[in-house]
Every structure is written in C-alpha cells, then in structure tokens.
Amino acid sequence: MQRLILLRHAKSAYPPGVADHERPLNNRGRNNAATIAARMRTFIPAGARTVAVLSTATRVQQTWAIARQGLEVDVRNDRSLYLAEPDTLLETASIIEAEVGIIVGHNPGLEELACAISGAEAAKDPLTGENLVDKFPTSAFAVVDCANQTWQLSAMTCTGFAVCR
C-alpha cells in the first residue's frame, strides 16, 4: 500500500504587476498553512519514508515552508506541477519512491483528480463538513491509498479529506 496526499496551496494574494507564478500567500493563507501541518501529520505513519513534490510557484513554496513543520520529508521541486492536469499529477505520483508521497500544487488539476478518485461519493471533511468533491478549496488536501502502486484510478481509494482553515 502506498499513500498519496494531494495538497492545494494556501490562499494567495494578488499584488498588482506580479505574475501568477510569483504570487505570494496572503495573511489568511499563512495562517491556514500552519493548520495544515497538524492535520496532515495524522495521515503520515510514524517512520514512513515521505517525499513531497512541489510546484515551483511562490504560493506553493511558501505553503510548504509553513506546512512541513514537524515532518521529516525529502522535497523535490517540479515546474511541470504548475497548473498541472490530473494525468501529470498521476504520472508524478507513480515515480515517487516512498511510502507516503505528497504533491503540492494547484486547481483545477488537484480538484479534478480528487473528484475522479472519489467518484460520485460525497467526500466530506470530518471536522468542517465541507464537501471536497464540489470544491477543493485552498488549504485542502485529499489522502489517497493505492493498493497495487499502479496509480490507476481503479486501484485508488480516498481515505481522508481536510480543509485547513
């Protein structure tokens, strides 16, 4: 069994004249990113080799710098994750050689992949009650387990969701 966590970056600012790739987190985003660490840790088994692959966008890098608190994680940056499609996200998951992989990126790709894995079932955050199939907001993550490491949708099951606000 291999676990994958799909994490959407925290809320970003829209400063005038700043390119999308370079947009930083806003105050709410920084606060929400701090909440991610505690909730995400509950889905990572103690001692599990964990690798995080991050989009190179500033808001993703800043989210991860805060959210990784207390985690022992190898980190890789991958420009192809910037606004990546679900197929690219699955391809990235398939080459992560770890018990737990974390992909930190953007919508709509993360939302589309989480919805495809969940199917028609309502996936609700047990703490907030938010339905993540309808919307995968900033600072949300989905936990996916894959029984045979093929990373085909038929072998994947979402086992947890969280919105960190």
Domains and their CATH numbers in the chain: 2-163 (3.40.50.1240)
Per-residue pLDDT at 133: 62
Alpha-carbon Rg for the chain, nearest whole angstrom, is 14
pTM of the model: 0.92
Q: pLDDT tens for residues 39-73?
A: 999 999 999 999 999 999 999 999 999 999 889 99
Per-residue pLDDT at 58: 98
As separate numbers, helices (DSSP H) first and strands (DSSP E) second, the chain gives: 4, 6
Per-residue pLDDT at 1: 66
Per-residue pLDDT at 114: 85
Per-residue pLDDT at 49: 95
Distance CA 21, CA 72 (A): 27
Q: pLDDT tens for residues 110-121?
A: 988 888 887 655
In the predicted model, residues of the chain with pLDDT beneath 50 are none
Contact present, 165 and 128 (Cβ < 8 Å): yes
% helix, strand, coil for the chain, step of 5: 30, 25, 45
